[in-house]
Structure 1
Amino acid sequence: MKLTIDRGALMKALSHVQNVVERRNTIPILSNVLIDAEGTSLRLTATDLDMEASDTTIAHIEKAGSVTAPAQTLFDVVRKLPDGSDIGLLLDAETRRLTITAGRSRFALPTLPADDFQTMSKEEAPNSFDIPAADFRRLIDKTRFAISTEETRYYLNGVYMHGAEVGGKAKLRTVATDGHRLALAEADAPAGAATLPGVIIPRKAVAEIRRLLDDATQDSNVSVSTSESKIVVKVGDAVITSKLIDGSFPDYTRVIPQSNSKILILKNAEFKSAVDRVATVSAERSRSVKLSLTADKLVLQVSNAETGQGVEELEATYSDEDMEIGFNARYLLDVTQQIEGDEIRFELNDGASSARVTDLADPAAQYVLMPLRV
């Protein structure tokens, strides 16, 4: 194998695949990236056996061939080479080392045979649709922060995506929850997505798909295909294939409050800053903040016997009876990060009931927060 490629093109392709590789592997080949050169195309592939990422770019190929090389080392070498340089890749037939050259720089990396590399099996994907990259990015960003990290509840370790009918209109919906909070976002369902059966996309796959979307242009489309066990997402020439979480996502609609009648509206930026300030003295484990509501006023309070007390008062739009409720400060801050408009709206019932939170500038997203005792 012998080829020359622009450093920028190789760097971009490597960045799309190398994060799939686990840093510690008991199987050496899984630490490597498959390099396949043929015609005018260089294809890179990496896998952890649960997920596979590949990208194809243009290269000047003098001799076709394929080999695997350490993904992280190759990425670090290319990253540190000068911008705009041409990189030569040569597989030495005798030493089986991959030689990397650029200007006066020269590196030789160990390799393993391409035949030993395991790729994920392909299967028929009965559900497929194209969605604007901006819409798919939003559906992920509005929900992924609420993914559970508790491995025992594996069915919550991802984003649940499915087609839904809302007010007579077909929607594509994403949901994530960790049992303490819930995030839901929806967009108009593109052709083929209205009847999408529910699939749970694993946390790692969500992160890699989101990373690919960073390189998608604002007006480009993303191709999504799903089967019973896999999801395939294609952004340009980059492809992510991942196993789905084999489990049943809970009936999340049951935990979304429908009759909370006490409405609290706040300036989001002011509320976010105030929560951050008073939480400075909260106990690290609970991070609880008490919200005391009176007519057009909100008082945030944190009391801790060891670290002290913090109190802040905010102007608010609130006209119902006085009440107190507590929330995890970090969960509050996570929700405020999702609010695009100037105001955040809380729908409350009492101090022991969940709150529904919405963005007045984005009615197609909503959040549910469980209260804490304060």
Structure 2
Amino acid sequence: MRIRFKKANLIQPTSIVNSVAPQVSPTPVLCNVLIRTEHDNMVSLVAADYETRVRVEVIADVEEHGSVLIPAKTFSDLVKELPEDSELTLETSVGSAFITASGVKAKLQTMPVVDYPHAQEFDPDFSLDIPQEPFHHLLSAVTFAIAQRETRKVFLGCCFDFLGDALQANATDGKMMALAKIPLESEGIPTNRQIIIPRKLLVELSNILVDEGNLTMQVAERAVSVSVGNVCFVSNLIDGTFPNWENVMPKSFAYTVRLPRYQILSALRRANVIMDIKTPSVKIDITDEEVRVKADSYDRGQFTETIEAQNSIGQKYSIGLNFGYLNNVLKVLNDTDILMMCNEPNKPVVFTVACNPDTSYLVMPVRLPREVEEKQEADASEEDDEEPVGPGDSSYNDED
């Protein structure tokens, strides 16, 4: 096999396959990228792990057809470090691959192509085209809420509900929940189909989506395929039943307050300097005229910042929230003012914006460190490390 590439045509494809191929695996062949000629000016790069497979088509000058299996990370790193605007040649011999470019010569060890796992048969139930821009916004709104380590496997992905004329996404890690929706215009979409897509595929998609053009999604019984331009991902779906968000979302609220987004974000950054590293949380005090952001730690001190606001709740309202959750929500909700809908301070709060009520976030309150200490002193039988109960926890109820 002999192929000539331009570096500019290889940078993104090699980065994509390298992000899918594991660097270390009990199945060493998966750490490689399969390079295969398709026709005289097209080559495919294929990488896979145990749940996701990607195929990227690359323009190239094919002088001799064939296929080769080489280490994905080594190939990607080498391409990245080649001189700009360079051309490289990939040649194969028995057990080796040779790369030459602008005075560079490299020899890579290969593995037998026959050892690489074949793509599983994919028979879609339905297919739809989705504009990339709104789908990208949808992923940005929910993927950060997906659990990265969780005993319940369904929390490791995002739940997508096909509603006929809309696509709704729901993600949770058990302590916060993200909910967003975009309209659909494709025909033949089921009205009651639900799938759970693993986080890895959604993160990879977010990295390549642009503001123009469509993506094609095909859904099968146990897998999903998403094609964007010259890139096609196929991933297994997560089996299981996702928690019903309607059972968690409060039906009504006692208060709706407006939070000035930019000022609160700035205050959170400053509060983060003081807050406890082990339990990063902030206290939010709200009155009709102001919002106060407070943080303290046993070994660093205390922090308070007062921000002017206009509300009409008629009393002081205080709540403790996890810093990371609040910070991420405010970053994603893109408006001048954020709406925080709440009931008692020990009940979950919901964040949204007036311009996009289809996107909302439910966040469980936390007990602040000093409040825990006071509670322990008042009642020695109280557990000393009370954790908030999350949307996906079956033990969630109306008790504190």
Report the TM range for the smaller structure's normalisation. Answer: over 0.9
Task: State the shift of 1:194 in Å.
Answer: 5.2
Partner residue in 2 for 1:2: 2
| SS of equivalent residue, structure 1 residue 347 | strand
Given residue 203 of structure 1, which amino acid in structure 2 is its aligned partner? R
Distance 2:264 2:354 in 1: 15
Partners of 2:70 and 2:208 in 1: CA distance: 22
Query: In the alignment, what sits opposite 1:230?
Result: 223
Q: What corresponds to 2:32 in structure 1?
A: 32
Given the alignment of the two structures, is residue 101 of structure 1 paired with residue 114 of structure 2, yes or no? no
| Contact persistence 1:35–1:68 (CA under 8 A) | yes
1:172 aligns with 2:164: no
1:223-262 CA distance string (max 9 Å, x none)? 0111121111100010111111111101112212231131
Give the structure 1 partner of residue 396 of structure 2: none
8 Å Cα contact 1:163/1:189 also seen in 2: no
Within 1, Cα distance between the matches of 2:310 and 2:166? 32
Give the match's secondary structure for 1:142. helix
Q: Normalised by the size of structure 2, how large is the TM-score?
A: 0.88
Separation in 2, partners of 1:334, 1:355: 15
Long gaps (5+) in structure 2: 369-400
- Tell me the CA shift for residue 297 of structure 1: 1.4
1:11 maps to what in 2?
A: 11
Deviates more, 1:251-260 or 1:179-188: 251-260
Computed over aligned residues only, the root mean square deviation of the Cα atoms, in angstroms, reads 1.5
CA offsets, 1:101-149, max 9 Å, x none?
1121111101112111103302211021100000110111000111112
In the alignment, the residues of structure 2 paired with residue 129 and residue 331 of structure 1 have an alpha-carbon distance, to the nearest angstrom, of 33
Matched, 1:241 2:261: no
Matches within 5 A, 1:295-374: 295-320=288-313, 321-374=315-368
The sequence identity of aligned pairs, in percent, is 30
- Secondary structure at the aligned position of 2:233 is classed as strand
How far has the Cα of 1:289 moved from its partner? 1.0
Q: CA deviation at 1:49?
A: 2.8
Report deviation, 1:96: 2.6
- The equivalent of 2:283 in structure 1 is 290
- Residue equivalent to 1:148: 147
Give the match for residue 194 of structure 2. 198
| Change beyond 3 A, Cα 1:317–1:193 | farther
Equivalent residue letter for 2:77: D
Matches of 2:193 and 2:233 in 1, distance apart?
20
Gapped regions of structure 1 (runs ≥ 5): none
CA drift of 1:196 comes to 5.8
Are the counterparts in 2 of residues 276 and 329 from structure 1 also a CA contact under 8 Å? no
One-letter code aligned to 1:142: A
Tell me: CA distance 1:46–1:318, structure 2 relative to 1, closer, same or farther (3 Å).
same
State the secondary structure of the residue aligned to 1:143.
helix
Structure 1: 4+ residue segments shifted above 3 A: none
Matched, 1:274 2:279: no
CA distance in 2, matches of 1:303, 1:61: 64
CA distance in 2, matches of 1:295, 1:206: 41
- Map Cα deviations across residues 236-291 of structure 1 (whole Å, 9 max, x no partner): 01011111111110111221223113111122010111122123222222212111
- How many residue pairs get aligned? The number is 365
Provide the rounded CA distance (Å) in 2 between the counterparts of 1:304 and 1:221: 49
Partner letter of residue 11 of structure 1? I
Query: Which residue in the other structure is 2:74 paired with?
Result: 73
Structure 1 residue 189 displacement after superposition:
1.9
- Match of 2:179? 184
CA contact (8 A) 1:265 1:346 kept: yes
Aligned to 2:299, the other structure's residue is in SS state coil
